[in-house]
Amino acid sequence: MPDGSFLLIVALVVTLAAEFVNGWTDAPNAIATVVSTRVLSPSQAVLMAAVLNIVGAVVTGTAVASTIGTGIVRPEVISLPVVIAATLTVIIWSAVTWFYGIPTSESHELVAGLAGAGLATAGPSVLLWGGWQKVLIGLGFSTLLGFSLGMIVMTSLYWILRRTSLSSIRGVFSRLEILSAAFLAFSHGSNDGQKFMGVFTLALVLGGKMTHFAVPVWVMLLCGTVMGIGTALGGWRIIRTVGFKITKLESVGGFAATSSGAIAILLASRFGIPLSTTHCISTSIMGVGATKRFSAVRWGIARNIVLTWIITFPVCAALGWIIASLLKIAF
Average pLDDT on 211-215 reads: 82
Does 2 score more than 60 pLDDT?
no
- What are the residue boundaries of the structural domains of the chain, listed by start? 3-330
At residue 243, the pLDDT reads 66
Average pLDDT on 28-48 reads: 79
Average pLDDT on 288-315 reads: 85
Of the chain, the percentage scoring pLDDT greater than 70 comes to: 91
Most confident of 51-55, 158-162, 185-189: 158-162
At residue 60, the pLDDT reads 66
> Residues 6 or more apart from 263 whose CB is under 8 A from it?
149
The string of DSSP letters for 221-261 reads HHHHHHHHHHHHT--HHHHIIIIIIS----HHHHHHHHHHH
At residue 79, the pLDDT reads 85
> Residues 6 or more apart from 94 whose CB is under 8 A from it?
18, 21, 22, 24, 25, 26, 104, 106, 109
Exposure of 249 in the CB half-sphere (CA atoms within 13 A): 36
Does 192 score more than 80 pLDDT?
no
Q: Contact 40/59 with Cβ under 8 angstroms?
A: no
At residue 274, the pLDDT reads 66
At residue 235, the pLDDT reads 66
Average pLDDT on 16-33 reads: 80
Average pLDDT on 186-193 reads: 74
Q: Contact 264/152 with Cβ under 8 angstroms?
A: no
pLDDT confidence bin for 3, thresholds 50/70/90: low
pLDDT confidence bin for 1, thresholds 50/70/90: very low
> Residues 6 or more apart from 44 whose CB is under 8 A from it?
none
Phi, psi of 128, rounded to the nearest 5 degrees: -110, 115
Least confident of 263-272, 295-304, 314-323: 263-272
Distance CA 184, CA 100 (A): 24
| Residue/partner pairs of 296-303 with CB below 8 Å, 24 or more apart | 296/247, 296/248, 297/246, 297/247, 298/245, 298/246, 298/247, 301/241, 301/245, 301/246, 302/246
Of the chain, the percentage scoring pLDDT greater than 90 comes to: 17
**Average pLDDT score over the chain:** 82
Q: Which residue did the predictor score with more confidence, 38 or 321?
A: 321
Beta bridge partners of 127: 73
Q: Angle, to 10 degrees, between the axis of helix 277-292 and the axis of helix 251-270?
A: 140
Q: Contact 24/98 with Cβ under 8 angstroms?
A: yes
Alpha carbon distances (Å) from 47 to 54, 182, 323:
11, 11, 35
Distance CA 84, CA 278 (A): 24
Cα 193 to chain centroid, rounded: 8
